[in-house]
A and B are shown apart, each in its own frame.
Chain A
């Protein structure tokens, strides 16, 4: 599976957009970009995934660059409950390979 690089931590003000970057320069042509998050002491939660086009759902938006070597997860209006570890994963949905992720702290 392709390796991803994420910043170890980020802060965001409550109510503002949180933009979480991910580099995946070795992604192969048909691998997807997945985002999951894990709130303390809970199981990971699926957020969104995409292949080439930008995607949006009720939780977030996913922007994938044209060369597919990086992506950004956008939480449009972050709340305190969005404080979590966010994992960017590339693959086919099977056998997820989690890195260290980004700790997002949303502050009031």
Chain B
């Protein structure tokens, strides 16, 4: 399968613990995005990378959240000191962006986080 993969698919953690999620984009894609989706809502943008550079962060991304894409390939999203309000589906997407073109994003299956 050459699509976007995310691990783990499900994570249950206790409030106050740190969690880390991994996203592996489609191999030739240069942009990688993170979104969060709570029950009954559409996904909300969190941040995106162009290769290894983090180009934009939403104000939803509090200082407890950090994302990295160290070699421009896979990415990790870490949440420190989790809170119950962090319970959501965390979605990763990737795209191939060429100068002047339009492009679509391909999403992974998501990581469902439950904070107890």
Q: Which residues of A are interface residues toward B (Cβ below 8 A)?
A: 32, 34, 42-46, 49, 51, 85, 87, 92-101
Contact = CB atoms under 8 A, between A and B. Distances in A.
B108 A97 contact: no
Contacts, number: 53
Contact of B91 (A44, A87, A94): A44
A contact face: mostly helix, strand, loop, or mixed: loop
Interface stretch (B69-77, B79-87, B97-105): B97-105
Give the contact-size bracket for chain B. Answer: 20 to 34
Nearest to B42: A98
Contacts of A46: 104-107
Interface of B: 4, 31, 33, 35, 41-45, 48, 56, 91, 93, 95, 97, 102-110
B114 to A, nearest CB: 14
Contacts of B45: 95-97
B108 A43 contact: yes
Contacts of A45: 107
B42 A87 contact: yes
Contacts of B48: 94-95
A13 B13 CA distance: 43
Complex A-B, nearest 3 residue pairs according to Cβ-Cβ distance, in ascending order: A98-B42, A43-B107, A46-B104
A3 B45 CA distance: 15
